[in-house]
Amino acid sequence: MSLGVTLQTAASGLQAAQASLRAVSDNIANVNTPGYVRKAVNQSQQVVDGVGLGVRIDGIKRITDQYLQMASLTAASDSSRWSAVSQYLDNAQSLFGDPSAGGFFFNRLDDVFSAFGAVANDPSSTLLRGQALSTVQDFLTEADRINTQIVSLGDTVETQAIADVDRANSLLEQISQLNVDIKRSSLVGADTSGSQNIQSQLLDELSGLMNVRVSERQGGGVDLRSVEGVLLAGDQPAKLVYNSSSSTPAYITAQPYGSNTAQPIQLTSGDLRGLMDLRDVELPKLYDQLGEFVSRSADQLNAAHNASAAYPPPTTMTGRDTGLDLPTAVSGFTGKTTIAIVDQSGLMQQTVAIDFDAGTMSVNGAAGTAFTDATFLADLNTALGAGGSATFSNGVLSLSAAGGNGLAIDEGTSQKTGRGFSAFFGLNDLIKTTGFTNYATGLQPTDPHGFTAGGQISLRLSSADGRPLRDVTVAVPAAATMTDLLNALNNSSTGVGLYGSFGLDSNGVLSFTGSAPNNAQLSVVSDNTARGVGGPSISQLFGLGSAERSSRAGRFQVNPTLDGDPTKLSVAKLDVTAAIGQVAVRPGDGLGALGLSTSGETPILFQAAGTLGQVTMSLTRYASEFGGSIGRTAEAADNRKASAEAVSNEANNRRQAVEGVNLDEELVNLTTYQQAFSASARMIQAASDLFDQLLKIV
């Protein structure tokens, strides 16, 4: 070996040792720096024409494990998703109060029943009546408060999601810029580890917001893509947009740099996925189930109050807007009901017994005269005669007694959609509503749909994660029946038929069911349909869409007439066996109040809402199930969060074991490279000495 080769070999070793010492020094200096990845110098043997010329520095590399990095990013994304869900569900659960405390929301319904039980024991007490009405209003007010705050939580979630998308756009821009910097530095052989460390930290932060697919770029840096393969970050970033409206699910679109098309992308994890799940799934479940519970509670109290009588009796009874025309509303009733006219002392003056099964009306026990759905109002007025009158306008039935007399109704066996005649029309409601809350319309496939032909309802079909599948606009057909309306809604070309179908159950509840494999969910974009002149739209009457469901629990209040005068509360029962001139409504009768106090024990049908499917059970049982489901949902989310965090911590620990700085190992490397440096220096010194000796010989 010539002395020149020896010097070159030693010099290369000296340079390699110096580079390695600098890398070790950086590692030790950054042992506690978050996100720092230890680095090492890549070396290889340098050979020219078969002769070894020392060592070549190929570059500085970060010690990473791509599999562990992806596992860590995936685990962090899952952890962020369930952390968001757990946090907000805990907040939602707290709105209902402490189950062990007296202020727990579901205990308030028990207070209502207890208050009416006290009235049943002392019907003449105006104070007890007023207290009972106050407990009802407290229950309704608390339901409204909880519902409002659940909806407000949704607004907070929406704000956070928008902020997350803005931050994700900023991260994608920074990652793309670092790709350019890393590539430029790599071309000139510069150390790119600093830029790569910063980029790695940005990736960690981005994975907490949304899941991405990461791949190494040739020449350094990374490409980020969505699940579908849309390029989110490379040389230039894509633009993410958060899309939502008050009535449709939220979704994210990505517009790659240089493209004119924004494409919906799928998010399976990350804070954004958790926030969108909360906005469009978890919180709607809560307010929908709360609405169902409060609606059925009001229905049961109203049913008991409609089955009762007041002393002294009211001269008029005005119902609620059924959203139906009278012939359609009367159609489908079974059983019997009795409308009585009594004087202010409770003495029976006249009875009109309506037998829906036989289709007859009987006055004061005489032989019945026939009526039809179409002639019901005229025949009822004929039967009432001079004793009273009935009117029907804008979906509302009203009864009046003449001559200073009053009205009392016995529901008897009358029934439609689980409600008696008076309860169906709301003639003697304890609780009034400011909109439609019971979506059991009673409409059957052969009934006229009643909506003005040509009116349009726009619907959006979305995938389970909110991405839009198709928007359709359905026009109300000129054909008259509900079957015709269902056919128009379910049309495969102009309706929802490609993704699911609408169905009408025996109680007239209209619902949409998505079909496999998309299992689409449905939302209402707009609705200008109307049932009759100024009547409800399709979405209002049947409760379609989040806009209708989100406000349902806040539409109730105690009847202002009763709230202003508790003596008008119906706490007695009409005695239908009383003869004309005999006492039919007695002062001091508390049977009606007793019925109110036990109304929570009657099994009724609840429509599917929240975490519970369609079930038949009592109000008190449903309250228990509902309260338990809120706790179970929050606990399940917390368990998912804990599991995801455990997986994330384990993945991070394993990643850190590879990427992190080990001081013991670095000190060994430091000693090794110092010795290598010294050896190369001695080799250079030895070559220098040989040169000196050769020069002396010459």
- Looking at per-residue confidence, does 64 or 317 come out higher? 317
Name the helix (H) or strand (E) containing 70.
helix 66-94
Of 148, 140, 416, give the one whose Cα is nearest residue 301. 140
Instruction: Say if residues 389 and 398 touch (Cβ distance below 8 Å).
Output: no
Instruction: Say if residues 447 and 328 touch (Cβ distance below 8 Å).
Output: yes
Average pLDDT over residues 370-388: 96
Instruction: Say if residues 410 and 313 touch (Cβ distance below 8 Å).
Output: no
- Looking at per-residue confidence, does 219 or 48 come out higher? 219
Across the chain, what does the average pLDDT equal? 90
Average pLDDT over residues 556-583: 96
Say what the pLDDT of residue 534 is.
86
Q: How many residues does the chain have?
A: 698
Left (φ > 0), alpha (ψ -120 to 50) or beta: where does 522 sit? beta
Instruction: Say if residues 308 and 596 touch (Cβ distance below 8 Å).
Output: yes
Distance CA 413, CA 420 (A): 7
Average pLDDT over residues 263-268: 94
Distance CA 207, CA 51 (A): 50
| pLDDT tens sequence across 406-429 | 999 999 999 999 999 999 999 999
| pLDDT tens sequence across 573-614 | 999 999 999 999 999 999 999 999 999 999 999 999 988 889
Say what the pLDDT of residue 631 is.
86
What phi and psi, each to the nearest 5 degrees, are found at residue 250? -85, 150
Average pLDDT over residues 560-572: 96
Distance CA 41, CA 194 (A): 14
Distance CA 94, CA 291 (A): 18
Q: From residue 100, how far is each of 618, 626, 630 by CA, in Å?
A: 22, 16, 15
> Which structure tokens are listed for 570?
């119906």
| pLDDT tens sequence across 28-57 | 777 776 767 766 666 777 766 666 667 776
User: Residue type at 176?
Assistant: S
Q: Say what the pTM is.
A: 0.88
| pLDDT band at residue 446 using 50, 70 and 90 as cut-offs | very high
Distance CA 314, CA 66 (A): 80
Distance CA 631, CA 555 (A): 25
pLDDT of 483 > 70? The answer is yes
Say what the pLDDT of residue 67 is.
67
CA torsion sign for 19, 20, 23, 25 is: negative
Name the helix (H) or strand (E) containing 431.
strand 431-433
- Looking at per-residue confidence, does 331 or 98 come out higher? 331
Instruction: Say if residues 173 and 138 touch (Cβ distance below 8 Å).
Output: no
| pLDDT band at residue 20 using 50, 70 and 90 as cut-offs | low
Percent of the chain with pLDDT over 70: 91
Extended strands (E) in 114-257 = 213-216, 222-225, 231-233, 239-245, 248-255
Left (φ > 0), alpha (ψ -120 to 50) or beta: where does 588 sit? left
Average pLDDT over residues 116-123: 96
Rounded to 10 deg, the angle between the 66-94 and 193-209 helix axes is 30
- Domain ranges in the chain are 3-63+660-697, 68-86+158-274, 456-542
pLDDT of 551 > 90? The answer is yes
pLDDT of 171 > 60? The answer is yes
Q: From residue 555, how far is each of 179, 298, 302, 536, 563 by CA, in Å?
A: 56, 11, 15, 16, 16
Distance CA 569, CA 130 (A): 9
Cβ-based neighbour number of residue 42 at 10 Å: 13
As to burial, measured by CB atoms within 10 angstroms (0-12 exposed, 13-18 middle, 19+ buried), residue 98 is exposed
Say what the pLDDT of residue 73 is.
82
Least confident of 67-76, 135-144, 663-672: 663-672
Q: From residue 210, how far is each of 78, 466, 564 by CA, in Å?
A: 9, 15, 55
